[in-house]
Amino acid sequence: MKGEVDQRWDVCAAKASLCTVSDKRKLRECSKCHTVRYCCPEHQRAHWKEHKGTCFAPAF
């Protein structure tokens, strides 16, 4: 399970639908929830509609 989580962490969250460059860039995580990563601001904006329903700041 840990390997599966690690593998998902190393790809752009938008990759399934549109990312073809994430393997070539350093991924940056969502600054609010820190649970998803993106290769570029364009992909973060494109994925926001889907992500915003689960994006929240950690309670700790």
**What CA–CA distances, in Å, run from 23 to 11, 38, 44?**
7, 11, 16
Provide the 8-state DSSP code for 23: G
For the chain, the structural domain boundaries read 2-51
Please classify residue 11 by burial: count the beta carbons closer than 10 Å to its beta carbon, then call 0-12 exposed, 13-18 middle and 19+ buried. Answer: middle
pTM over 0.85: no
Q: What is the pLDDT of residue 33?
A: 93
Q: What is the pLDDT of residue 30?
A: 92
Name the H helices within the chain.
2-9, 41-51
- In a structure prediction context, what are the per-residue pLDDT tens digits for the chain, which is 60 residues long? 444 444 445 677 776 555 666 566 688 899 999 988 888 888 899 899 999 999 999 887
